[in-house]
Structure 1
Amino acid sequence: MSHISTTTTENRLREEIAEIGRAFRLLGMAPGTSGNISAKLDDGWLMTPTNASLGALDPAAISKLDWDGNLLAGEPPTKESFLHRAFYDQRPDTGGIIHLHATHSAAVSCLNGLDERSCLPPITPYFVMRVGRLPLIPYYRPGDPALGDAIREHAKTHGAVLLANHGPVVAGKTLEAARNAIEELEETAKLYLLLRQHDVRTLGEAEIDELRQAFGAHW
């Protein structure tokens, strides 16, 4: 019975990853073969394949890995799997992780003078509740394993990071939570870019503290 349940859960998550990938492509958040999505299983984790378009994922081809990184099923995984592993290692309650090169958040990642403690200010309560502080990870070349170590330094205390000149990585207790958070992050990045030349009212500490108490926000 447990094997049947595990298989059912895995198949459901494969379908969910493919559906989320299609949605991101339609929203313009996953150009080309950029971005990757993962989900945790009881016996390993699912990871989108290398050089795969998120808009055209075959659920059966999605990689399944054990916690030693061995491929158990599907096609070879993205070379950025270690970005996800860094979060899984540090946040045991993580159920899903998403990394995108979405336009507005990637644009913010290319700006000079960002606050390294949080690249985006508390513009809206929804950003504070769903994402929280967004620390900046310095630039590393794509595929550099040292990037995973840099993420680990922040992953224990933050559910999302922004990779310089690259894009965001967001973890959630479920895959759906990660999806909602990264969409909120992208919308906040868009607002931030639209408002940069204006005198912006951000949430004050008392307002953020109210969100902590009412919704368990982490800021």
Structure 2
Amino acid sequence: MSEAKLRESISSFGRSLFERGLTPGSSGNISVRLDDGGWLVTPTNASLGFLDPARIARLDAGGHLLSGDPPTKEIPLHSALYETRGGARAIVHLHSTHSVALTMLPEIDPRSALPPMTPYYLMRCGQTALLPYFRPGDPAVADAIRGLAGRYSSVLLANHGPVVASDTLEAAVFATEELEETARLYLLLRGLNPRYLSPDQVADLVKVFGLTLPEHAHADEDPHDH
């Protein structure tokens, strides 16, 4: 896809996410990695609902601004995900209500923030890591992302929101939407003893769809310690 079409696509998906209330005000950001190693990334303090394709920031492979408006302050977050998820070509970060609410609950497992509730959650998001709170733009979030060693394509930032990487912009948007809907389901069903997918059902999805789920066998290992 040409750079011009990617710019239009970022604007279209941003508007769709904004209009459906998935990231309010000037929150959230989107980036796409280009063939030359550079990126397109949404500007700082820009609403995803009103992006001007021509003003989307163009960065070189080192993260330096080449054209467009100054980029989002969340560059460290995007950079670390691209670095550790080698096949990632797009990243979506939102402040979606139910995903943010999930991060504040005391029982959430940082290695697997959501149980296997639906097949499409596993197919699009895999498992989701929960990282501790960092102020927006804090470079330390990059080290926390690196500590996950590329095992997760979907990550929740405590009291902040989801960040999802995928091989296309469309896939990253769809996965972020799936994560939000699954968080919403969890909150709706919390305390009601719902029936989740069984280990055999999860294993069937892994086999049929070739899913790669993060190792979750080492209960004594805390990803925050990396």
* TM-score bin (small chain): over 0.9
Q: Does residue 176 of structure 1 match 2:187?
A: no
TM-score by length of 1: 0.94
Letter in 2 for 1:154: L
Name stretches of at least 5 consecutive residues in structure 2 with no aligned partner.
214-226
Segments of 5+ residues of structure 1 without an aligned counterpart are 1-7
Query: How do residues 1-20 of structure 1 correspond to structure 2 at under 5 angstroms?
Result: 9-20=2-13
Alpha-carbon distance, 1:139 to partner: 1.0
Whole-Å separation in 2 of the counterparts to 1:151 and 1:10 = 27
Which residue does the alignment assign to 2:183? 189
Q: Whole-Å Cα distance in 1 between the matches of residues 19 and 133 of structure 2?
A: 28
CA distance in 2, matches of 1:142, 1:25: 19
**Residue of structure 2 in register with 1:25 after alignment:** 18
- 2:150 maps to what in 1? 156
Please tell me the root mean square deviation across aligned C-alpha atoms, in Å: 1.0
Q: CA deviation at 1:155?
A: 5.1
The C-alpha deviation readout for 1:92-144, integer Å capped at 9, x for no partner, is 21110000000110111122221111111111011011101101101112221
Residue 111 of structure 1: SS of its match in structure 2?
Answer: coil
Q: Report the CA distance between 1:18 and its aligned residue.
A: 0.2
> Which is worse superposed, 51-60 or 139-148?
139-148
Q: Distance in 2 between matches of 1:39 and 1:57?
A: 15
- 1:60 and 2:54 matched: yes
Match of residue 40, structure 2, among 35, 46, 50: 46
User: CA contact under 8 A between 1:133 and 1:218: conserved in structure 2?
Assistant: no
Instruction: Write the letter of the residue equivalent to 1:58.
Output: D
The letter for the 1-side match of 2:208 is A
Corresponding residue for 1:81? 75
Match of 2:212 in 1: 218
After superposition, residues 88-107 of structure 1 pair within 5 angstroms as 88-107=82-101
| Higher percent of residues as helix | 1
- What is the total number of aligned residue pairs between the two structures? 212
CA contact (8 A) 1:87 1:155 kept: no
CA distance in 2: counterparts of 1:60 and 1:162, whole angstroms: 30
- Per-residue deviation, 1:217: 2.0
Q: Is the 8 A contact 1:49 1:77 kept in 2?
A: yes
- Aligned-residue sequence identity (percent) comes to 57
TM-score, normalised by the number of residues in structure 2: 0.91
- State the SS of the aligned residue for 1:176: helix
The aligned counterpart of 1:124 is 118
Secondary structure of the residue aligned to 2:2 is: helix
- Separation in 1, partners of 2:168, 2:149: 16
Is 1:199 paired with 2:154?
Answer: no
Q: Residue 187 of structure 2 aligns to which amino acid in structure 1?
A: L
